[in-house]
Amino acid sequence: MRIAVVGGGPGGLYFASLMKQLDPAHRVTVWERNAPEDTFGFGVVFSDETLTGIAGADEAVHAEMERGFARWTDIDVEVDGHRFTVGGQGFAAMGRKELLQILQRRAAELGVRVHYRTPAPDVEELRAAHDLVLAADGVNSAVRSALAPAFGPSLDRRHNKYIWLGTDLVFEAFQFFVKQTEWGTMQIHGYPYSATGSTFIVEMHEEVWRRAGFDRTDGREFGPGESDAFAVSRIAEIFADELQGHRILTNNSRWLNFTTVRNERWYDGNVVLLGDAAHTAHFSIGSGTKLAMEDALALAACLHERPGVPEALEAYQAERRPVVESTQRAAQASLEWFENIGMYAGQEPAQFVFNLLTRSRRITFENLKERDAEFAALVEGGFGAHPGPAMFQPVRIGPLELNNRIIVSPMDMYSAVDGVPGDFHLVHLGSRALGGAGLVMSEMVCVSPEGRITPGCAGLWTDGQAEAWRRVTSFVHGGSSAKVGLQLGHSGRKGSTRVMWEGIDEPLPDGNWEVIGPSALPYGPGCHVPREATRDDLDRVVADFEAAARRGAEAGFDLIEVHAAHGYLLSSFLSPVANRRTDAYGGSLERRLRFPLEVFDAVRRAAPERIPVTVRISATDWLPDGTTEEDAVEIARAFVEHGAAAIDVSSGQVARHERPAYGRSYQTPFADRIRHRVAAPAGVPVIAVGAISSWDDANSILLAGRADLCALGRTHLYDPQWTLHAAAEQDYRGPGAEWPVQWQAGRRRPPTSRTDRIPPRLSLLRDGVSGTAHLRWTPERPVGVSA
Residues serving a catalytic function are 568
Q: 689: helix, coil or strand?
A: strand
Task: Tell me the C-alpha to C-alpha distance, in Å, between residue 408 and each of 483, 703, 717.
Answer: 10, 20, 9
Distance CA 695, CA 715 (A): 10
Instruction: Report the alpha-carbon distance of residue 472 to residue 556 in Å, rounded.
Output: 9
Of 657, 721, 730, residue with least CA distance to 696: 730
Judge whether 103 and 385 are in contact, CB under 8 Å: no
Q: Coil, helix or strand for 324?
A: helix
Q: How far is CA 205 from CA 127, 189, 499, 541, 772, in A?
A: 42, 14, 47, 44, 35
Helix 589-606 × helix 629-641 angle, to 10°: 40
Task: Please give the backbone phi and psi of residue 708, each rounded to the nearest 5 degrees, phi first.
Answer: -100, -25
C-alpha–C-alpha distance, residues 568 and 654, integer Å: 8
Q: Is 345 helix (H, G, I), strand (E, B) or coil?
A: coil
**End-to-end Cα spacing for the chain:** 51
| Cα distance between residue 563 and residue 491, in whole Å | 10
Give the Cα separation of 622 and 320 in Å (integer): 26
Residue 11 burial (CB < 10 Å; 0-12/13-18/19+)?
A: buried
Q: Would you say 393 and 727 are in contact if contact means Cβ atoms under 8 Å apart?
A: no
Amino acid occupying residue 97: K
Phi, psi of 16 (to 5 degrees): -60, -45
Report whether 734 contacts 393 (CB < 8 A). no
Q: Cβ atoms within 10 A of the Cβ of 217, count? A: 15
| CA pair distance 175, 189, nearest whole angstrom | 6
Amino acid at 510: D
Cβ proximity of 388 and 668 under 8 Å = no
Task: Mark out the alpha helices in 521-628 (DSSP H runs).
Answer: 535-554, 569-574, 589-606
Q: No. of H helices and E strands in the chain?
A: 27, 31
- Strand-pairing partners, residue 265, are none
What DSSP string runs through 532-546? EP-HHHHHHHHHHHH
Tell me which residue of 476, 134, 193, 124 sits closest to 312, measured CA to CA: 134
Cα separation, 19 vs 229, in Å, equals 42
Residue pair 295/301 in contact (Cβ under 8 Å)? The answer is no
Nearest to 578, CA basis, from 523, 511, 616: 523
Measured between alpha carbons, how far is residue 770 from residues 372, 375, 376, 735, 767 in Å? Answer: 9, 12, 13, 31, 8
| Residues facing 82 on adjacent strands | 79
Q: How is the chain split among helix, strand and coil, in percent rounded to 5? A: 40, 20, 40
Phi, psi of 439 (to 5 degrees): -140, 130
Distance CA 402, CA 385 (A): 14
- The CA distance from 726 to 110, in Å, is 56
Partner residues linked to 75 by β-bridges: 86, 174
Question: Does residue 774 come out as left (phi exceeding 0), alpha (psi in the -120 to 50 range) or beta?
Answer: beta
